[in-house]
Structure 1
Amino acid sequence: MKSALRALRIGRVLLRYRLDDLLDGTPAERWLKLMRPFVPRAAEPSVAHMPRGARLRLALQELGPIFVKFGQILSTRRDLIPADIAAELTLLQDRVAPFDGEMARNIVELALGRGIDVAYASFDIVPLASASIAQVHAATLHDGREVVVKVLRPAIGKQIAADVALLESVAAIVERAHPSADKIRPREIVAEIENTLAAELDLQREAGNASLLRRNWLGSPDLYVPEVIWSHTAEQAMTMERVRGIPSDDIAALDAAGIDRKALAAKGVRLFYQQVFRDNFFHADAHAGNIWVDPERKADPRFIALDFGIMGQLSSDDQYWLAENFMAIFNRDYRRIAELHVQAGWMPAHIRIDELEAAARAVCEPYFTRPLSEISLAEVLAKLFRTAQRYELTLQPQLILLQKTLLNIEGVGRQLDPGIDIWAVARPVLEKILAERYSPQRLGAEFRKRLPEMITRAPEMPRLLHAWLQQQVEGRHELRMRSADVREIAATLGSLQRRIVASILGVGLLVVAAVLYALEAGGPQLLGVPVSTWIAAVGGLWALLAAWPRR
């Protein structure tokens, strides 16, 4: 009954802003049209002439803070919604009416398990800022340090759970009725929204994100992350060092402070690539409200990061494929772009590489007729993803989140310096990170880190290898394969035997390297690298090449 009443209220708001045209051709649109005579238009006379994106934004704001948050998250899925709507949803602001300061005080006391006067020397019950899920209060610790306390809204968890349940019902209907439901994956979108909101409801988790980001950039001249006060942090209240800065989109204030905006813009682009490909931990909500500028550093400016509820990480495979795609775009290697999309598993193996190559060329070539300073890498990547969807691209939510972050970073960079050549700034950073990531020293360090595990598992290798070979000979694995897979194996059976032998030899070299390293404890070196590391690298490369899929 509650869900039905909530759905009825949502329907009324959608009709007031005449948003039933967004549901054109669906059963929901027919029901809404039946209700239209009974629902007055929104009071503003200009609503009828507003574009659909603006009307949707106003409707979400009227529905309340949770729907504002839904809209903000949905704005990251530019692969699913039209560009005009996505652009409007990015304008949604979390400036909502604050809740009572005394109630905030009680929540903090309950969360920390002690009185507010015991925890803080002072606590201002008038909030500094108020958003859809939490609000922030100024406070002072007993040692004199100025801090801010982020407090969750009361009963926000129940409200989010009710709205997510309603969204899940809608997703189930879309999954059954929409012809492209297998590509849109509505249930996964709702699950993604739910996971994002769940992360923002746990302020201890957000504090952990802030702590890791601070550790990654401690002492950096490029980025400052406030310190978390762990003794005053719990699931419903988080205390952090108070910082002061200028919002990164306040150009007049930055100029008045004498900040070198060109240097700052280049730093912003470098920071993004370093967070993604060096640290594999990036701020995924990097709009101007969350990215400030330190006013004390004029010639060598630095950013200040805030709000760590949405952070991004990629698997090592996604990092590799994405970095290689960037480099292929930099080099205009469209064949490589097509091959990477298939090899990464983002697209099925039956797609013709030459057709995908031609599609990538059609997307990218028009951009290269412009000056490089006018090219948006995020825009190129977004168009590549949209084009690839015609070739059965499987949506990758983690990459879409990164794409949205890249779009934000490029937007901030161009606001600070309209003439910035993002490609010229990004390319050397990415090349350096990739060179370091796949250097012999890095591979050696990874090998030494995994050496205890390899030695522990080494006695099991002969038994596991024998079991696998026996399955191959008896053909038991075919029961779990499609007929197309069996035909492909039959076509490559001759090379498979040679690859098995090469894999065994590669694994043997890894075991030899492990034993040699254990005996010599680093031992003799070649070009400054232990001999055991060289053997491990050769063995690992041999095994990898032997096992690499032939296309």
Structure 2
Amino acid sequence: MSDWRQLARFWQIWRVSRRYGLDQFVGRRPNKRFAKPRGERVRLALEELGPVFIKFGQALSTRPDLLPDDIAAELSLLQDAVPPFPGQQAREQVEAALGQPVGSLFAFFDEKPLASASVAQVHAARLPDNPDGTPGMDVVVKVLRPGIEKAVRKDLALLHFLAALAERFGPDADRLHPREVIKEYEKVILDELDLMREAANASQLRRNWLGSDLIYHPLVFFDLTRSDVLVMERLYGHNIDEVAALRAEGVNFRELSERGVEIFFRQVFRDNFFHADMHPGNIFVDASNPEKPRYLALDFGIVGSLNPSDQRYLAENFLAFFNRDYRRVAELHLESGWIPDDVRVDEFESAIRSVCEPIFNKPLKDISFGMFLMRLFQTARRFRMEVQPQLVLLQKTLLNIEGLGRQLYPELDLWKTAKPIMEDWMRQRLNPLNGLDDLKAHLPAIVETLPDLLKRLQQDWPPAEFAAQTRELKALRQDLAEQQSRNRWALLGGLLCLGGAVILGLDGRGPARIADLPLASWVLGSLGVWCFARATWLNFSRSGAR
């Protein structure tokens, strides 16, 4: 905060907050100076503060557990459409990034942008003609706003500062983790500023869905792409919110909606790599086959993935939810550590049932998934459920899917469409043959490291702990062998003495003198005494050794 420019930005934020009455909102005091409701004033303030705050507000709109209902609902209306910067400036930036004049890079470049957003704007262009004389491919050129990264990093520094204050003084900070939320948001927006990363995201999604009739992803031209310039194939179709145009084309809206749900769940669980910015501006529809309409995806700056444990827990939660197994939902929340260990499972189960049960067997038009999530989060808040920052993108995307589904086909049964996909994924996950596939995939690495592993084992063998246990085991075995030897000598001595006594009894004469004993009794008795002496000596020598 030592930089005077950051102080100036902080002062600007404070002035905007005062202008929209947000200072009194923070203090929870009513503000009678404004006719507009507080949710609208928050939205307008964020729009005035610029791209970082707009996108942060969009992210917060997916976390109703962090905000009052009216604020969350208003933030969902945030738009990041902003006035474009000059086309000549975009041309110069392209030339600086690619090191050649635009005229040699493209047969056509339109300085008037197709679209302008808070981070970048897009221009139509066409590649040079092919060697056979055919026209080059139509493309779009995405160009970052000049100076946007510097502005974003300054605002992120302020957000980190404010989050630190909130974590220190906020009453709910231990549950909401404001600094973790800002860190997760920082990753998202900084990724958007690197167009090479967006190009790689587009390429990965294209590879995952290549040949599919559900969705198409554009071809990326990596030789014309840099961190601040991206060139990719231009896609033609109807914007998904052009419902009248799609209806005129005879598009099957039920099929289109169900395909959207299938794409989402397969991206999340089959590929673990999903498009996380599926608002209407980023989705077109190819209506060339109206009964089997295909999605056309755009703008790949925000993608998401889950770690294996979160992915598995989430899948099991979805399936348990689809099957109305609220007990299992509650148990999974405990097992994953999302709620404290001292929460009673039966109480949490009952609370979840009260939220979920009313929405089953209803079409999407009769369900507000946003309100459902709000109630679910409010319920979880009562049980001190911690915020899961890594799931923010997933929840945001799920709300986008709901909005699209409601717009296209309100009768959509979201649960009926999604359940078979989840069941199929779980069957695949539990298939033992998948374990063999994983082993096959890792076999080259295992073979490569095996010689080094064996060498290290040879050098370090036996390990100190193992060697100590081995010595102790050898000592125990030796003690047992010696004990068995003593027992055998004592037993043999007893048997010999007994044999001598038996012979004496058979002789029938009473021993008047020792010298009169039968020879056999003498021999056996002497051997018996010697055996007893041997056993005694072994025992004595072992005790002395200890």
Partner of 2:339: 347
- Aligned-partner SS, 2:280: coil
Partner of 2:419: 427
Q: State the Cα distance separating 1:398 from its structure 2 match.
A: 2.0
Contact 2:261/2:401 (8 A) holds in 1:
yes
Partner of 1:94: 80
1:15 to 9, 18, 30: 18
Contact 1:377/1:423 (8 A) holds in 2:
no
**Quick one: which amino acid aligns to residue 153 of structure 1?**
R
Q: Is 1:79 matched with 2:65?
A: yes
Could you tell which deviates more after superposition, 458-467 or 448-457?
458-467
Q: Distance in 1 between matches of 2:440 and 2:50?
A: 53
Q: Distance in 1 between matches of 2:247 and 2:290?
A: 10
Partner of 1:280: 272
Contact 2:196/2:227 (8 A) holds in 1:
yes
Partner of 2:110: 124
Q: Distance in 1 between matches of 2:79 and 2:368?
A: 25
Q: State the Cα distance separating 1:189 from its structure 2 match.
A: 1.9
- Considering only aligned residues, what root-mean-square deviation do their CA atoms show, in Å? 2.8
Q: Distance in 1 between matches of 2:467 and 2:153?
A: 51
Q: State the Cα distance separating 1:105 from its structure 2 match.
A: 0.9
Q: State the Cα distance separating 1:151 from its structure 2 match.
A: 0.2
Q: Is 1:327 matched with 2:327?
A: no
* 1:72-101 Cα shifts (integer Å, max 9, x gaps): 232233331223222222222222111111
Partner of 1:178: 170
CA change 1:465–1:349 in 2 (3 A) is farther
Q: State the Cα distance separating 1:238 from its structure 2 match.
A: 0.0
Q: State the Cα distance separating 1:376 from its structure 2 match.
A: 5.9
- Aligned-partner SS, 1:296: coil
Q: Distance in 1 between matches of 2:80 and 2:205?
A: 23
1:406 to 398, 402, 406: 398
Q: Which one has a bigger Cα radius of gyration?
A: 2
Q: Distance in 1 between matches of 2:168 and 2:465?
A: 41
- Aligned-partner SS, 1:234: coil
- Aligned-partner SS, 1:9: helix
Partner of 2:139: 147
Contact 1:226/1:241 (8 A) holds in 2:
yes
Partner of 2:27: 24
Q: Distance in 1 between matches of 2:37 and 2:463?
A: 66
Q: Distance in 2 between matches of 1:467 and 1:287?
A: 61
Contact 2:59/2:396 (8 A) holds in 1:
no
Q: Distance in 1 between matches of 2:44 and 2:465?
A: 60
Q: State the Cα distance separating 1:464 from its structure 2 match.
A: 11
Aligned length: 455
* 1:368-424 Cα shifts (integer Å, max 9, x gaps): 485687446675455434422332322111223212211111221121111111111
Partner of 2:529: none
- Aligned-partner SS, 1:303: strand
Q: State the Cα distance separating 1:53 from its structure 2 match.
A: 1.5
TM-score, with structure 1 as normaliser: 0.77
**Quick one: which amino acid aligns to residue 56 of structure 2?**
F
Q: Is 1:437 matched with 2:429?
A: yes
Contact 1:248/1:291 (8 A) holds in 2:
yes
Partner of 2:253: 261
Structure 2 unaligned blocks of 5 or more: 130-135, 469-546
**Quick one: which amino acid aligns to residue 26 of structure 2?**
L
Q: Distance in 2 between matches of 1:338 and 1:289?
A: 37
Partner of 1:3: 6
**Quick one: which amino acid aligns to residue 75 of structure 1?**
S
CA change 1:374–1:446 in 2 (3 A) is farther
Q: State the Cα distance separating 1:438 from its structure 2 match.
A: 2.1
* 1:289-331 Cα shifts (integer Å, max 9, x gaps): 1111113231210111111111010111111100100111111
- Aligned-partner SS, 1:239: strand
Contact 1:372/1:423 (8 A) holds in 2:
no
Could you tell which deviates more after superposition, 86-95 or 208-217?
86-95
Alignment of 1:222-233 (within 5 A): 222-233=214-225
Q: State the Cα distance separating 1:426 from its structure 2 match.
A: 0.6
**Quick one: which amino acid aligns to residue 325 of structure 1?**
N
Q: State the Cα distance separating 1:134 from its structure 2 match.
A: 0.4
**Quick one: which amino acid aligns to residue 57 of structure 1?**
R
Q: Is 1:194 matched with 2:186?
A: yes
Partner of 2:533: none
TM-score, with structure 2 as normaliser: 0.78
**Quick one: which amino acid aligns to residue 199 of structure 2?**
A
Contact 1:323/1:430 (8 A) holds in 2:
yes
**Quick one: which amino acid aligns to residue 23 of structure 2?**
D
Partner of 2:532: none
Q: Distance in 2 between matches of 1:171 and 1:470?
A: 54
Alignment of 1:342-491 (within 5 A): 342-368=334-360, 370=362, 374-375=366-367, 380=372, 383-454=375-446, 456=449, 459=454
Structure 1 unaligned blocks of 5 or more: 42-47, 472-551
Contact 2:364/2:406 (8 A) holds in 1:
no
* 1:426-455 Cα shifts (integer Å, max 9, x gaps): 111111122122212222211221234455
Q: Distance in 2 between matches of 1:11 and 1:128?
A: 35
Partner of 1:493: none
Q: Distance in 2 between matches of 1:354 and 1:464?
A: 52
2:239 to 241, 244, 247: 247
Contact 1:376/1:422 (8 A) holds in 2:
no
Q: Distance in 2 between matches of 1:199 and 1:152?
A: 12
CA change 1:229–1:470 in 2 (3 A) is farther
**Quick one: which amino acid aligns to residue 53 of structure 2?**
F
